[in-house]
Amino acid sequence: MLLRAILEAIVLLLVIRAVWRVFGSMVTISSVRRPTTATREPRAVKLVRDPVCGTYVSPTSALSDGSRYFCSEKCRDEYKLRA
């Protein structure tokens, strides 16, 4: 009789611990902040075309002379020589 009570107490503790872990992970997952639309990075960037070699480059990484964008210094210098 005493052994049965001890075994039931152990099983009850294991069930309570399992339920606690499931609900604890649910709370942790739901409390993680997801980025809002305003803080997300844009997924697409409009590319610009190099007038010399025709390569498409991102305006943020391209070399610029004001209105034109170049993929490298070589293309920019070649464009200046043509003009």
Identify whether 6 is part of a domain. Answer: yes
pLDDT at 7: 93
60: Cβ contacts below 8 Å, ≥ 6 apart? 45
pLDDT at 5: 92
Condensed to tens digits (0 to 9), the pLDDT of residues 8-57 reads 999 999 999 988 888 877 766 666 666 666 666 667 889 999 999 999 99
- Is the pTM above the cut of 0.85? no
| 66 — pLDDT class (breaks 50, 70, 90) | confident
Number of compact structural domains in the chain: 2
Identify whether 38 is part of a domain. Answer: no
pLDDT at 44: 82
| Exposure b/e, 62-76, CB count within 10 A at least 16 = b | beeeeebbbbeeebb
DSSP state of 17: H
Q: Which domain holds residue 72?
A: 48-82
pLDDT at 79: 92
